[in-house]
Amino acid sequence: MKIFVAGLPYDLDDAELEEIFEKFGPVVSAKVALDKETGKSKGFAFIEMQNRQDGMDAIEHLNDVSLGKKPLVVKEAEERPSAPRSGGFRPNNNFNRRDR
């Protein structure tokens, strides 16, 4: 089960995040989102738990709990639609073609 967490302290790392969630069951992965330019935390993360019921327990017990200044938002992650590879624009190759 994939879980989204927001409201994380900016100094929390992947290992600490995994430690918090593994109290509810086996964690497959725990990844804090980092800014590509600065390398600093964006304050949210994604966790994948091996068992759905363990994930639901984690959501129930950790949602609205404060680890820092703000309460956590913990919920099941939503699937993101994939972006088009060409940026959504495809040139018309026949635009300058002349029919003879």
Domain extents for the chain?
Answer: 2-76
What CATH number should be reported for the domain whose range is 2-76? 3.30.70.330
Cα separation, 52 vs 59, whole angstroms: 11
Cα separation, 17 vs 25, whole angstroms: 13
The pLDDT value recorded for residue 79 is 79
Q: Which region among 17-26, 57-66, 85-94 has the lowest average model confidence (pLDDT)?
A: 85-94
Q: How confident is the model at residue 96 (pLDDT cuts 50, 70, 90)?
A: low
Q: Write down the pTM of the prediction.
A: 0.77
Cα–Cα–Cα angle for 42, 70, 19, rounded to 5 degrees: 70
